[in-house]
Structure formats: structure tokens, C-alpha cells
Amino acid sequence: MEWIAHLSGKFLNEAASSVNFPTVGDWVQVQKLLDEKKAVIQEVLPRKSQFVRKVAGQKTEAQIVAANIDTVFIVNSLNHDLNMRRIERYILAAYESGASPVVVLTKRDECSEDEVSKAVLQVEEVAIGVPVIAMSSLTGEGITDLLEYLPIGRTAALLGSSGVGKSTLVNTLMEQKVQVTKDVREADSKGRHTTTHREMFVLPNGGLIIDTPGMRELQLWEGESAIDTTFQDVEQFAALCRFNDCSHDTEPGCRVKEAIEIGELTQERFLSYLKLQRELAYEKRKQDQRAQLEEKNKWKKISKGLKKKYKN
């Protein structure tokens, strides 16, 4: 019997050794074994989007953390450490994966209306064209705005530092306690893992939410148009520089430098743009080298095979 199934984290251990390294969020074709309570993955269907994780060490292969994500909720807490540079990096990573970012500002209940509007404005300045939602799991404010991105069959993934309220948000969206939150974990004095961390949830209205620890080690993966989209403001100024290949350093007629001087663009934002651009270029070079090496090895193998065949 053949089925199409949507992979959730709990099946992954068994799936890990099979074809194409299926991951959370993948749609797979499976063959149900008749006499056993098992199914075998036969094919991973083409992915609409994918998140890549940095693999430590010498391994040449990238690891796919999650696939087929429509929306990435970039989760930040309103009450501390609202870091614009981190938000920029996450937005870029979301676009590169092929998903659309939404910035979620949690713990709204801990701030005054004034503080909330100030924070939203500040984020909107770096998150150009990206929706920004201030919400609270405690009071339920903003939850309906989030649910708009989660109609039946749509998948959102959570991205954000520890303690910003991701697990609490999952519980709120699920309308029940499915994920262990920090206060519960800390109260557990024995410090053992009481529940295994589940990674994918089907919401009561049919939307899907992915909360996987792997999302925290996201790697920037090549995507030239992602930088343009994330830094539209900088790119717009750059398009007006006198020289096409202006490096926005010492050239005359540099519109970017001018924008910084007259306060149309902040220095921090420009430096962040340069940094992420450099990082992407470095990753791209690494990927190209990797691809070259793989190609070389492939031909080595083929020629070895041919030599063997025609030896006698």
C-alpha cells in the first residue's frame, strides 16, 4: 500500500538511514509493510523550501533542518535583548530558505503600550516589508494575527533564542500543554528530561507548526536575491551611486555614504549589510569548492571504473 505522508520529528530516527535524508516537514512517499507496523520511505517529494544547518567538523555535507516551511516566525521577547542585527540575519536566512519571514514580538503584557509601539517601529525599520506582530501568550493578544499565517495545510517554523517564549507560544496555539516550557523545566529540580521534545504540531484549525532545536544553528546559504530583499533600503541607495561597482568606501558620488552622513541610513545597518554580504560570499565560495570536489571525485571514480573494465 502506498501513502503520501508528512514527516514529523518523531519518525526521524527510523527515517534517518533511508534515502535522501528526509527531514521534518518533508512530504514522503511511503510503502506500508503488510505484516508489520512499519512503513518504508521510498521517495522524498520535491521541497518548496529548506533550512540548512552548519555541520561541525570536516563533513562536507550540509544538513537540512526542516523543509517545506511557508512562514518563519522570528521570535523575540519585548522585555529584553531586542537585537536588530539578529533579526536582520534571521530575515535573510528565512528568505534564503524560500520561506516568508514574520517578526513576532512576545511578552507584550510586560510592556507599556508606548514601549510596544516604540519597539515595533524600531523593528519595522530593519524588517522592510516584513509583518511585525506584538503578542502575548499570557493575555492572548496578537494570537489571531499569528493564526492568519496558519490556515489548514500551511506550515510555520519558530526561530528565536532560548527563553523568548517559543514553547509557550506552541502551547497557546495548540490550546493545550504539548511543549514543556522553561519555568516547568527549571522547577524540575532533578534536571532530567521529562518529556522528549516533539518537533511538529498540528494545530486545531489544521495549520502546522515546527519547533526544532536545529533551527538555532542556521547557516546562511547562498541566495543573492535574499540580500537584496532583506536590505532593500541599502540597495536602493547603492543603485544611485555614481559608479556601478561602487564599494561605498572612498569613491566620489557614493549615495550610500551620503545617506549615512545625512541620517537616511544608519551606520550599523550598513555595516550589518556588508558583514552578511561577506559571509554569504564566503559560504558561496565554500559551496562551489565543495561542488567542484564532488565533481572531481565523481570523474575519478568513473575513470577508475573504465580503466578496470578495459584493462584486459
Nearest CB to Zn ion, comparing residues 15 and 246: 246
User: How far, in Å, CA of 290 to CA of 58, rounded?
Assistant: 12
Q: Which of 6, 11, 5 is nearest to 31 (CA)?
A: 5
Least CB distance to ligand GTP at residue 195 (A): 12
Q: How many CB atoms lie within 10 A of CB 25?
A: 28
Q: SS3 for 95?
A: helix
Task: Please tell me whether 108 is known to bind a ligand.
Answer: yes
User: How far, in Å, CA of 177 to CA of 179, rounded?
Assistant: 6
With cell 530575515, the residue in question is 91
Least CB distance to ligand GTP at residue 96 (A): 22
Q: Identify residues 101-160 at the interface with ligand GTP (CB under 6 A).
A: 106-107, 109-110, 136-138
Q: Which of 217, 174, 169 is nearest to 66 (CA)?
A: 217
CA distances from 248 to 225, 231, 298 (A): 19, 15, 42
125, 183, 224, 288: which one contacts ligand GTP (CB under 6 A)?
183
Task: Please tell me whether 163 is known to bind a ligand.
Answer: yes
Least CB distance to Zn ion at residue 275 (A): 17
From ligand GTP, Zn ion, none, which one binds at residue 256 (CB under 5 to 8 Å depending on kind)?
Answer: Zn ion
Helix (H) or strand (E) holding 174: helix 166-174
Least CB distance to ligand GTP at residue 218 (A): 14
C-alpha cell at 151: 490556515
Task: Please tell me whether 248 is known to bind a ligand.
Answer: yes
Nearest CB to Zn ion, comparing residues 271 and 302: 271
Nearest CB to ligand GTP, comparing residues 51 and 270: 51
Least CB distance to ligand GTP at residue 75 (A): 7
CA distances from 105 to 79, 90, 300 (A): 9, 14, 52
Task: Please tell me whether 253 is known to bind a ligand.
Answer: no
Nearest CB to ligand GTP, comparing residues 82 and 138: 138
What is the pairing mode between strands 100-106 and 71-77?
parallel
* Residues lying near Zn ion in the complex (CB under 5 A): 241, 246, 248, 254, 256
From ligand GTP, Zn ion, none, which one binds at residue 181 (CB under 5 to 8 Å depending on kind)?
Answer: ligand GTP
Q: Identify residues 209-268 at the interface with ligand GTP (CB under 6 A).
A: none
Q: Which of 273, 238, 229 is nearest to 258 (CA)?
A: 238
In what side-by-side order are the strands of the sheet with 27-32?
A: 2-6, 27-32, 39-44
Least CB distance to ligand GTP at residue 115 (A): 14
Residue 165 interacts with ligand GTP (CB under 6 A): yes or no: yes
C-alpha cell at 204: 486545531
Annotated binding site for Zn(2+): 241, 246, 248, 254
Which residues sit at the interface with ligand GTP, rule CB under 6 A? Answer: 106-107, 109-110, 136-138, 162-168, 181-183
